[in-house]
Amino acid sequence: ENNILNRKISDLQHQLDINNSLIQDQVKIINYRNNKDFEGENLILPIYTANINTYKKEIKYFIEIPKALPLEEQLSIVANKLSIYCFSGLPITVMEIKSIDGLEIAVVNLKETEVNKGIDNLDELIGKTWKANYFQGSSGGIITSNQLVDTFLQNDYEGKWIDGVQFLYEGNIIEFDHVLGLSDINYR
């Protein structure tokens, strides 16, 4: 019983740390939003979510990305911030940017934490997981899909960016019912 309580306390402390980091990031971005030097050196991009009632795209947070970084590294920052702020720190890895028919497609792998690798029984999973928390349920699955696709594609950004994104789960095509569209390449 003490182990369970200690794990819950640890999880709550971790979430508090994430929330504090998020608040600091948002305040920094707001404070520097009209600073020409800051905006000249950084992209300010949104992390999107979907409205729970209408599923329309909404901005959830903003992130800053140094413009000087190569595109793959910029996408890795998007992946990291999306993981931390929206998906309980679950691993999101940009594996590569590949060219398909002259279009640049980012391949993004969604992974479980090491403690949950290979566990198929949902009752045995520890903490938040893709398959139990983000790929389940109609509304949750749609919101997960929208957050991932819209945030990676950045359709409103007019600078150099990827043309599409393909998501994998543990290195394989995603085959969960409620995250429709994540098994396909999504284009801008």
> What's the pLDDT score for residue 138?
86
**SS3 state at 63:** strand
Torsion, Cα 8 10 13 18, to 10 degrees, reads -100
Torsion, Cα 108 38 60 179, to 10 degrees, reads -10
Q: Tokens for 180? A: 């429709």
What's 124's DSSP letter?
Answer: G
Q: Supply the pTM of this predicted model.
A: 0.87
In angstroms, the CA 78 to CA 80 distance is 6
Is the separation of the CB atoms in 144 and 83 below 8 Å?
Answer: no
User: What does each of the 188 residues of the chain score in pLDDT, given as a tens digit?
Assistant: 777 678 778 878 888 888 888 899 899 888 887 888 998 999 999 999 999 999 999 999 999 999 999 999 999 999 999 999 999 889 999 999 999 999 999 999 999 987 777 777 777 767 788 988 899 888 889 999 999 999 999 999 999 999 999 999 999 999 998 897 899 999 99
